[in-house]
Amino acid sequence: MPTETLTIATPDGRADAFAAFPDGGGTHPGVLLYTDAFGVRPELEGKARELAAHGYCVLVPNLYYRHGPAPVTELPAHIGEEVRPALIERLMPLIQEHTTDRILRDAEAYLAFLTDRPEVAPGPVGVVGYCLGAALAVRTATAHPGLVGAVAGFHPGFLVTDAPDSPHRRIPELTAEVHIGLAEGDMTPEDLSALDRALQAAGVDHTTEVYPGTVHGFTMSDTDAFDASALRHHWDRLLPLLERALTRR
């Protein structure tokens, strides 16, 4: 399977990224994949390869490129609960600096780069995000409704907040089909209700689903949160979504 480490020009610098492409050449739908808080690493590269094996050209940018190439902080092979708090403490300033303006500038650069690749077919693209990446996926989809045909977020963070520019407030502008897969405790009932109301207002096909018995981070096999059955369920939701929205048009 062809993979590359790439550099993407953005208004704020040059972002390093991992990309995976299907075997056999030709053109295929594009997918922009946003990482969780821990960033680009073998776990996320594996998810990109899995999507490429199903016929998608996948771009995984380093969200923290303004602070250096991935990984911007040293990561253990397994992110156990004994080290997770210290890692989050180191990364939180970077997350807080990743403002809505930065997210949208980056998203435009990433989408332009992805859709300009010769391997990427014309037509809608998908955007997928994990943890904080789910919020970035929604922001990207609402800012580019004519381009993004599918958006999926798993164990989301920062998707519904009290901020005036909370991602969920722009959801009525969506045109993409949506799936949000939550761990138990990812959202309060009130926040989940606000998310559902926003999706209903958008008038798009959508599902929000709490994956039973899971904790935040359940798709990530390099963490203690990993749940193998929930990961399979995530693929069972994500792959049909991408096929419906990106390959049947």
pLDDT for res 247: 86
Q: Average of pLDDT values for 104-115?
A: 98
pLDDT at res. 1: 86
- pLDDT at 5 (0 to 100): 97
Report, as an integer, the average pLDDT of 83-110.
97
- Per-residue confidence band for 248, with pLDDT thresholds at 50, 70 and 90: low
What percentage of the chain reaches a pLDDT higher than 70?
99
Output the pTM of the full model. Answer: 0.97
Asked if residue 71 has a cis previous peptide bond (ω within 30° of 0), the answer is: yes
Q: What tens digit of pLDDT does each residue of 170-185 get?
A: 999 999 999 999 999 9
> In this predicted model, what pLDDT tens digit does every residue of 230-240 receive, in sequence order?
999 999 999 99
Domains identified in the chain and CATH numbers: 3-247 (3.40.50.1820)
Q: What is the pLDDT of residues 222-232, one digit of tens each?
A: 999 999 999 99
Q: Is the pLDDT of residue 249 over 60?
A: no
Q: Two tokens at 231?
A: 């990961």
187 φ/ψ sector (left φ>0, alpha ψ -120 to 50, else beta): beta
Q: Check pLDDT > 70 for residue 100.
A: yes
Strand residue runs (E) in 98-166: 125-130, 148-154
Q: What is the DSSP secondary-structure string of 33-81?
A: EE--TT-SSHHHHHHHHHHHHTT-EEEEE-TTGGG-SSPSS---SSB-T
User: DSSP class of residue 28?
Assistant: B
The percentage of residues in the chain with a pLDDT greater than 90, rounded to a whole number, is 98
**DSSP conformation class of 223:** B
Average pLDDT, the chain: 97
